[in-house]
């Protein structure tokens, strides 16, 4: 009885500040530790709470559903969107062209007919035999090398017409696709791709020549980029067709696809990768040196070249397991894409009216909690269920007595835990009510999986912290570096430790970081593995010297294409390849241009977000410090507030907006009889789609959320940026999109910052808290909902970023010394972006108790002497005045962190030391006995 009174007292104390799920998890933990003392419960059994809660999740789902999750609040059905690397082939090809380019299709046909007349051949490609077709292509390739620009571009337009599938000779989209497939095979075999790369180099050089740059181009329109758009279109069609055929596993494309992948992963004759050349085009465009570059085609080609060269989601999954096995780790069994397919989207966050309505059925809520408090007494459970069975049956699942299977499916479908050999099941109907899907009969109840969709994880760092706290509390000592000793600790601590060890997860990044620490600590004795030139490694080495500029350029393009960007004087004009020379005169033309502009922006956002995410994922697998280097420059360039600004809109409208006219999409716009585009045709075109959402917009939103998660995960300073920029209301609005994968990444971002949002926010957002419990992976020992984390001290934030940057710079300097020096010399723009980001951060921190100095590394108002001690440490190492803010931090500025740059410094020895060197060597070295074990 004394134990029950302690339980009741503790339960009443926590009731006001914990969510329903948290209260019940705590009660479950109390049941496990029944024979232990209250101190053991508070310290050791919290570890087991998440595991115990996993086995009773279906019982607790009814409490959350009754109070916060009403199906009447759902905004329509779940989206049937399936996340993939790319959209369908026809859609990807159609997005290459703007609607204003419609007139140029006829120019391609005209060029082909003129060229065939020059060759004394009939202007019909399909009537030519295979040998004749190859001969025509070879003549066109030779013509690409002539000096006459008009003659050269006529041949380029002929090749573009062939790559487009000779659409003037076909009657259906399928026939056009088949001819494109056959022609691309011939074009690549005869060297068309390499020839068009040379043409692209010539266009870049002419566009960036001093004579052209000196004349500032204003009012750039579609005409200014005519030739370069033809070149980029041919390169894109070849790349996308080969990628699609390789994904399908076509036999006739197998050798060609492998050769093409090897070609784009190898440097061009001028020593640059194709991806680096395209990134350079984006940088020149953003700097104003080449405003006529068609950005949409450039970023689309860069995306497809990177996707084909590096690999998509399947390649990433295989590479991750391969690298893990190589370092002695177990392969990953849970794939996010597969697990989210088993989830169901939650209803959107409750409005104020819903909250008021949900305050009335409090009696049912209390009765549910009473049941949970006596879960350890089967007799009382049977009595209570028997007394309420009739009432629950009469209500037919209303209140807290609904169908357990339906309540469970509010959050996820039944899912077998891949980490366990046997699937643990529990009763699907805990309150013994008749199911709506099965007639009541004398048969055993249906057994469904009652586990969470994710296996809980814990880091070695969390286990060490748990042992240190337990040892200091119960014994009064700590063992540094001891990860297993349990001597003198009570039995509940032993059980908690075993549970933690059973769920410990070692990531590939942890192994790589530990290896780097060993190399930095023992550079001579530690053996470093040979650097394998994987596609990601080759790309990183190529972009490292100018990576800050590339990241800033990509974010500038993303900002200009964001629907929330202001229509003011911008430094870049991404509409250069969509605006016609003559503005529209009729309402139909104006409507078409408006739709085209919106579509143009959406495609750019889609491509840029996919590029950044692809690079982040591949760099993280290749080496975590490559990922961290790119991540830091994205953060310094204000990527976090940019993404939040993107989502600061009515996201449901953005997802459902269809800025497309199917009748004007290629090849529908050129095959068959074309209708008159009136207002009715526009409406008809919108109704031709059978989906209620825009594929590219949902794809872009998920990509941006994944980028935000990768930048912020395990970085407390960046999590604080989410709080400073007030991201919680913005992210909550995104939950209204009923797609499980999108909601999962939003809930992850909310979980990261929950501890900083305060008790009142948690109490008023119980539905969101319950969704986090049900959908996001549980990290044992993570008190994300309570705000008691010792690592959340604000005065550690800047030190964390500086330490990370020191490790990244040390890694780059050791492996890529020449490229790192170039990066340091070209980093002024990145440093300016970093200073701006720090200014934004410190401006927001003023409201959180932080008072920053001019450099953004000032003392913290709540940290006592934290800033003074950091400044003293810098002075001890010879760095006075803090970190420099007027130039990028090179390796010499980080010498005190153990960089190899320290050994590059010339040290002048005094004459006294030189004269007495032999004596010093005899006394201090030869005759000195060093206890190396003590060191």
- The DSSP output letter for 171 is S
Give residue 934's pLDDT.
64
Inside any domain, residue 348: no
**pLDDT for 668 beyond 90:** no
Residue identified by tokens 């692209």 is 200
3-state secondary structure of 334: coil
More reliable by pLDDT, 169 or 17: 169
Q: Which of 113-117, 561-565, 714-718, 894-898 has the lowest mean pLDDT?
A: 894-898
What residues contact 847, with CB distance under 8 A and at least 6 apart? Answer: 724
Inside any domain, residue 474: yes
Mean local confidence (pLDDT), 892-904:
37
Q: Helix 797-815 and helix 817-825: axis angle, to 10°?
A: 130
Distance of CA 576 to the CA centre of its chain: 29
Give residue 813's pLDDT.
92
- The DSSP output letter for 432 is -
Q: Is 423 exposed, middle or buried (0-12, 13-18, 19+ CB in 10 A)?
A: middle
Give CA–CA dist 728/746, Å, rounded. Answer: 10
Give CA–CA dist 517/528, Å, rounded. Answer: 12
- pLDDT, the chain, mean: 75
Question: Which one, of 134, 141, 136, 176, lies nearest residue 156 by Cα?
Answer: 141
Distance of CA 253 to the CA centre of its chain: 31
Give CA–CA dist 577/555, Å, rounded. Answer: 19
Q: Which of 196-200, 533-537, 580-584, 805-809 has the lowest mean pLDDT?
A: 580-584
More reliable by pLDDT, 279 or 682: 279
Q: Is residue 934 left, alpha or beta, with left meaning phi > 0 and alpha meaning psi from -120 to 50?
A: alpha
Give CA–CA dist 165/401, Å, rounded. Answer: 62
Inside any domain, residue 497: yes
Alpha helices of 327-411 — where are they, by DSSP H? 336-341, 352-357, 362-373, 378-395, 404-408
Inside any domain, residue 86: no
Angle at 297 between CA 296 and CA 302, to 5 degrees: 100
Per-residue pLDDT tens over the stretch 790-812: 455 555 667 888 999 999 999 99
Inside any domain, residue 552: no
> What would you report as the CA-atom Rg of the chain, rounded to the nearest whole angstrom?
32
Q: Do residues 414 and 342 lie in contact, with contact meaning Cβ atoms separated by under 8 Å?
A: yes
The token duo for 216 is 């500032």
Give CA–CA dist 825/837, Å, rounded. Answer: 21
Give CA–CA dist 4/31, Å, rounded. Answer: 10
Q: List Cα–Cα distances, 864 to 711, 795, 860, 874, in angstroms.
A: 29, 9, 7, 18
**pLDDT for 69 beyond 90:** no
Q: Do residues 53 and 509 lie in contact, with contact meaning Cβ atoms separated by under 8 Å?
A: no
> For the chain, how many structural domains are there in total?
1
Q: Is 730 exposed, middle or buried (0-12, 13-18, 19+ CB in 10 A)?
A: buried
Q: Is residue 898 left, alpha or beta, with left meaning phi > 0 and alpha meaning psi from -120 to 50?
A: left
Q: How many residues does the chain have?
A: 935
- The DSSP output letter for 486 is -
Residue 343 sits at φ, ψ, to 5 deg, of -90, 160
Give CA–CA dist 108/140, Å, rounded. Answer: 14
Question: Could you check whether the bond before residue 555 is cis, i.e. omega within 30 degrees of 0?
Answer: no
Give residue 857's pLDDT.
30
> Does an H or E element contain 23, and which?
helix 20-32
Q: Is 589 exposed, middle or buried (0-12, 13-18, 19+ CB in 10 A)?
A: middle
**pLDDT for 654 beyond 90:** yes
Give CA–CA dist 91/84, Å, rounded. Answer: 14
Sign of CA dihedral 512, 514, 520, 522: negative
3-state secondary structure of 457: strand
Inside any domain, residue 471: yes
Question: Model confidence at 608, in pLDDT bands (50, 70, 90)?
Answer: very high
The token duo for 732 is 């909550």
The listed range with the strongest mean pLDDT (211-215, 528-532, 627-631, 754-758) is 627-631
Mean local confidence (pLDDT), 127-143:
93
Inside any domain, residue 156: no
Residue 620 sits at φ, ψ, to 5 deg, of -65, -35
Q: How much of the chain, in percent, has pLDDT values that exceed 70?
A: 67
**pLDDT for 74 beyond 50:** no
Give residue 591's pLDDT.
87
Give CA–CA dist 640/644, Å, rounded. Answer: 6
Give residue 732's pLDDT.
94
Mean local confidence (pLDDT), 189-216:
81
Per-residue pLDDT tens over the stretch 364-382: 433 333 333 333 333 333 4
Q: Domain limits at 468?
A: 460-504
**pLDDT for 584 beyond 60:** yes
Q: List Cα–Cα distances, 673 to 101, 107, 122, in angstroms.
A: 18, 19, 24
- The DSSP output letter for 563 is T
Give CA–CA dist 239/243, Å, rounded. Answer: 6
More reliable by pLDDT, 291 or 830: 291
Give CA–CA dist 282/303, Å, rounded. Answer: 13
**pLDDT for 648 beyond 80:** yes
The token duo for 481 is 């570096």
Angle at 293 between CA 290 and CA 299, to 5 degrees: 125
Q: Do residues 756 and 787 lie in contact, with contact meaning Cβ atoms separated by under 8 Å?
A: yes
Q: List Cα–Cα distances, 661 to 98, 394, 579, 590, 689, in angstroms.
A: 11, 52, 17, 13, 10
Give CA–CA dist 675/663, Å, rounded. Answer: 8
Give CA–CA dist 752/480, Å, rounded. Answer: 29
Give residue 404's pLDDT.
37
Q: How many CB atoms lie within 10 A of CB 38?
A: 14
What residues contact 174, with CB distance under 8 A and at least 6 apart? Answer: none
Give residue 567's pLDDT.
57
The token duo for 385 is 């269920």
Task: Report the DSSP beta bridge partners of residue 303.
Answer: none
> Does an H or E element contain 722, and which?
helix 716-724
Give CA–CA dist 702/741, Å, rounded. Answer: 8
For the CA atoms of 426, 430, 435, 436, what is the dihedral angle to 10 degrees? -100
Mean local confidence (pLDDT), 350-363:
54
**pLDDT for 731 beyond 90:** yes
HSE of 347, CA atoms in CB hemisphere, 13 A: 19
CA terminus-to-terminus distance, the chain: 55
Q: Do residues 222 and 100 lie in contact, with contact meaning Cβ atoms separated by under 8 Å?
A: yes
Per-residue pLDDT tens over the stretch 256-310: 999 999 999 999 998 899 999 999 999 999 988 888 899 999 999 999 999 999 9
Question: Which one, of 239, 102, 111, 107, lies nearest residue 180 by Cα?
Answer: 239
HSE of 470, CA atoms in CB hemisphere, 13 A: 30
Q: How many CB atoms lie within 10 A of CB 868?
A: 11
More reliable by pLDDT, 860 or 837: 837
Give CA–CA dist 283/267, Å, rounded. Answer: 19
Task: Report the DSSP beta bridge partners of residue 448.
Answer: 426
Inside any domain, residue 694: no
């Amino acid at each position: 009885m004394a134990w029950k009174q302690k339980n009741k007292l503790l339960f009443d104390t926590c009731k006001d500040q914990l969510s329903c799920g948290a209260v019940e998890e705590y009660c479950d933990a109390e049941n496990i530790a029944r024979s232990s003392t209250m101190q053991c419960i508070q310290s050791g059994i919290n570890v087991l709470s998440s595991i115990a809660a996993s086995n009773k999740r279906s019982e607790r789902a009814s409490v959350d559903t009754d109070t916060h999750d009403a199906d009447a609040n759902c905004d329509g059905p779940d989206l049937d969107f399936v996340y993939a690397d790319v959209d369908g082939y026809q859609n990807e090809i159609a997005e290459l062209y703007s609607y204003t380019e419609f007139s140029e299709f006829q120019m391609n046909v005209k060029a082909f007919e003129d060229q065939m007349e020059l060759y004394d051949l009939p202007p019909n490609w399909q009537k030519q035999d295979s040998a004749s077709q190859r001969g025509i292509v070879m003549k066109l390739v030779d013509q690409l090398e002539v000096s006459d620009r008009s003659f050269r571009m006529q041949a380029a337009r002929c090749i573009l017409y062939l790559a487009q599938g000779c659409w003037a000779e076909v009657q259906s989209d399928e026939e056009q696709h088949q001819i494109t497939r056959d022609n691309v095979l011939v074009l690549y075999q005869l060297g068309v791709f390499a020839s068009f790369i040379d043409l692209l180099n010539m266009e870049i050089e002419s566009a960036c020549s001093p004579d052209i740059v000196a004349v500032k181009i204003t009012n750039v329109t579609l005409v200014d980029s005519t030739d370069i758009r033809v070149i980029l279109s041919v390169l894109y069609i070849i790349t996308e067709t080969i990628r699609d055929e390789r994904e399908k596993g076509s036999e006739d494309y197998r050798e060609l696809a492998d050769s093409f992948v090897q070609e784009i992963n190898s440097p061009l004759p001028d020593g640059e990768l194709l991806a680096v050349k395209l990134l350079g085009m984006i940088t020149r465009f953003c700097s104003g040196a080449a405003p006529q570059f068609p950005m949409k085609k450039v970023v689309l080609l860069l995306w497809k070249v990177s996707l084909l060269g590096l690999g998509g989601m399947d390649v990433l999954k295989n590479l991750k397991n391969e690298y893990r096995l190589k370092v002695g780790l177990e392969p990953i069994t849970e794939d996010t894409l597969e697990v989210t397919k088993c989830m169901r989207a939650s209803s959107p966050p409750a409005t104020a009216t819903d909250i008021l309505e949900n305050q009335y059925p409090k009696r049912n809520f209390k009765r549910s909690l009473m049941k949970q408090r006596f879960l350890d007494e089967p007799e009382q459970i049977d009595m209570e269920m028997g007394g309420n069975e009739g009432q629950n049956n009469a209500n037919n699942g209303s209140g807290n007595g609904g169908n357990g299977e339906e309540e469970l499916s509010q959050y996820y479908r039944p899912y077998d835990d891949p980490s366990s050999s046997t699937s643990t099941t529990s009763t699907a109907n805990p309150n013994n009510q008749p199911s709506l899907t099965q007639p009541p009969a004398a048969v055993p109840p249906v057994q469904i999986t009652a586990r969470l969709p994710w296996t809980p994880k814990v880091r070695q760092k969390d286990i060490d912290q748990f042992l240190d706290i337990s040892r200091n509390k119960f014994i009064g000592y700590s063992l540094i570096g001891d990860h297993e000793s349990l001597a003198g600790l009570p039995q509940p601590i032993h059980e908690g430790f075993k549970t933690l060890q059973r769920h410990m997860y070692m990531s590939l990044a942890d192994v790589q970081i530990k290896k780097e620490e060993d190399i930095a600590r023992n550079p001579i004795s530690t053996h470093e593995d040979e650097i394998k030139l994987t596609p990601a490694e080759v790309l990183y080495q190529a972009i490292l010297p100018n990576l800050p500029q590339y990241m800033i350029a990509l974010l500038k393009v993303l900002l200009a294409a964001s629907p929330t960007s202001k229509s003011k004087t911008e430094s870049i004009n991404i509409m250069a390849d969509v605006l016609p020379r003559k503005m529209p005169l009729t309402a139909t033309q104006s409507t078409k241009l408006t739709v085209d502009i919106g579509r143009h922006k959406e495609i750019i956002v889609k491509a840029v977000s996919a590029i950044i995410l692809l690079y982040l994922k591949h760099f993280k697998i290749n080496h975590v410090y490559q990922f961290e280097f790119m991540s830091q420059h994205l953060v310094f360039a204000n990527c976090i507030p940019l993404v939040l600004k993107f989502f600061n809109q009515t996201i449901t409208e953005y997802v459902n907006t269809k800025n497309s006219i199917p009748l004007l999409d290629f090849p529908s716009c050129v095959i068959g009889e074309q209708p008159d585009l009136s207002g009715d045709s526009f409406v008809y075109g919108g109704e031709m789609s059978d989906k209620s959402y825009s594929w590219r917009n949902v794809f872009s939103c998920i990509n941006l959320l994944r980028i935000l998660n990768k930048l912020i995960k395990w970085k407390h300073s960046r999590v604080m940026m989410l709080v400073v920029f007030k991201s919680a209301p913005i992210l909550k609005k995104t939950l209204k999109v009923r797609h499980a994968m999108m909601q999962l990444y939003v809930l992850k971002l909310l979980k990261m910052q929950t501890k900083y949002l305060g008790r009142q926010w948690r109490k008023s957002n119980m539905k969101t808290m319950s969704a986090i419990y049900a959908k996001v992976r549980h990290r044992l020992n993570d008190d994300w909902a309570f705000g008691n984390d010792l690592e959340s001290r604000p005065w550690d934030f800047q030190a964390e970023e500086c330490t990370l940057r020191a490790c990244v710079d040390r890694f780059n300097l050791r492996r890529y010394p020449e490229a790192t020096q170039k990066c340091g010399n070209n980093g002024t723009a990145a440093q300016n972006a970093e200073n701006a980001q720090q200014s934004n951060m410190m401006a927001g921190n003023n409201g959180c108790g932080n008072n920053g100095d001019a450099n953004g590394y000032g003392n913290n108002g709540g940290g006592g002497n934290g800033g003074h001690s950091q400044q003293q440490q810098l002075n001890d190492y010879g760095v006075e005045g803090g970190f420099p803010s007027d130039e990028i931090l090179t390796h010499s500025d980080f010498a005190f962190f153990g960089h190899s740059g320290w050994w590059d410094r010339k040290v002048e020895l005094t004459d006294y030391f030189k004269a007495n060197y032999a004596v010093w060597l005899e006394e201090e070295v030869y005759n000195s006995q060093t206890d190396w074990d003590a060191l």
